[in-house]
Amino acid sequence: MSHLNKSGIAALALVLSACGSGGGGASPPVASASSQASSMASSTSVSSSIDSSSEPSSSHSSAVSSEPGDFDISSVALTQKLGIGWNLGNTLEAVGGETAWGNPKATPELMQAVKAAGFDSVRIPVAWSQFSDPANFIIESAWIDRVEEVVNDALEADLYVMMNMHWDGGWMQPTYAEQDYVLGRMDALWEQIALRFADYDERLVFACTNEVMVEGDYGTPTEEYYTVQNGYNQQCVDTVRATGGNNPHRFLAVQGFNTNIDHTLSFFTLPEDPADDKLLVEVHYYDPYNFTLNNESQVTQWGDEAEDLSKTETWANEAHADEQFGRMQERFVDQGIGVILGEYGAIHRPNIDHHQRYQIYWNEYITASVLEHGLVPVVWDNGVTGNTGLGLFDRASAEQAYPELIEAITGAGVNP
């Protein structure tokens, strides 16, 4: 998710900060699931303005490697290493700074706790628009340093890392009117990011965008919208591949429209890539919306174990999940293209006695089904452990807030 925690509208924000601009699998509550005034700086002037903050890192992280052999596996093989993932949500993607949305700064202890809980990878959403030179989109050196510090903490905890370019105020609109502006800004940002992390090994995956959509429009995308969005994926691939170091063969995750599975299957075009077998496709899943994200809904039970049908949805049960993930497997995994389910989750509703049972079952079933179909499950954690939140860990103490729920997720691959 990306933006509904920005305005300070507490209850709604805590729910919809789950996935981005509304949820890649969950268009609320449908059953199937602003123009910028700045002129675009030329790529030449942007490149000449990039300062030492974007030069290849001299970090002592064990992930810094110039050995191309580290990348001699396919994207599908990489998904086996990514295993079960966890999201550092509502943190580095918070517009206004790392703690602007209410979470404390991420710590090495948190990453170690995530690893100890049984997770194999971490997705780190990032808002990169903290600029020292806004006209040329030059990232403030202190900010890229901080992002790298968190990436290193995760890698040193023996976690694979997927680092993206998140919602960040919604500037990435997929329209012809905004296209040139967005392409220029993306190029400038990804060049700096890629240069900074150029020598990191295959354990660092770049994810090009998040849930790109026209703000507020959850319907089927027009040809304009999905054509422009596909172009943003291509721009990311082109920019990263041109930066040297390990980036010519780095694994990159590219996104379907709004990361919605149906839209991805209908409208996604895999970017052209000079590297072989180094692209992954990312989608998200929050079906059914009324159970997973809508805190005002009376839908508080889910699946075959439901005891009161009046408290369930009439769609998006186990069979629906299996079908959706099966379609992604057939279209991509079986064709040699790895797939990441970059977000999924269901909110806490502790005020409803029976809800946690079904929340645990939903997370366990979805995780197991994702794994069974060869995808990478990456559960969303927004750091909010109270009512309507999706937090799994106490971010301040790094303790598990919901051990039974965490065990259901990390143990799902043992007995799917």
Active site residues: 211, 343
**Measured distance CA(214)–CA(73) in Å, rounded:** 36
**Measured distance CA(205)–CA(163) in Å, rounded:** 6
Q: What SS3 state is found at 206?
A: strand
Q: What per-residue string of b and e applies to 217-233 under the rule 16 or more CB within 10 Å gives b?
A: ebeebeeebbbbbbbbb
Integer angstrom CA distances of residue 404 from 167, 251, 407: 31, 33, 5
Q: How many Cα atoms occupy the beta-carbon half-sphere of 197 within 13 Å?
A: 33
Structure tokens given for 340? 């990441």
**Measured distance CA(295)–CA(292) in Å, rounded:** 8
**Measured distance CA(127)–CA(304) in Å, rounded:** 39
Integer angstrom CA distances of residue 305 from 99, 358, 360: 39, 8, 12
**Measured distance CA(23)–CA(89) in Å, rounded:** 14
Matching residue, tokens 């994200």: 293
Q: Tell me if 103 sits within 8 A of 150, measured CB to CB.
A: no
Matching residue, tokens 């769609």: 315
Q: What share of the chain is helix, strand, coil (3-state, %, to 5)?
A: 40, 10, 50
Query: Cis ω on the peptide bond leading into residue 288 (within 30° of 0)?
Result: yes
**Measured distance CA(302)–CA(398) in Å, rounded:** 30
For the chain, the farthest-separated pair of C-alpha atoms sits apart, in whole angstroms, at: 64
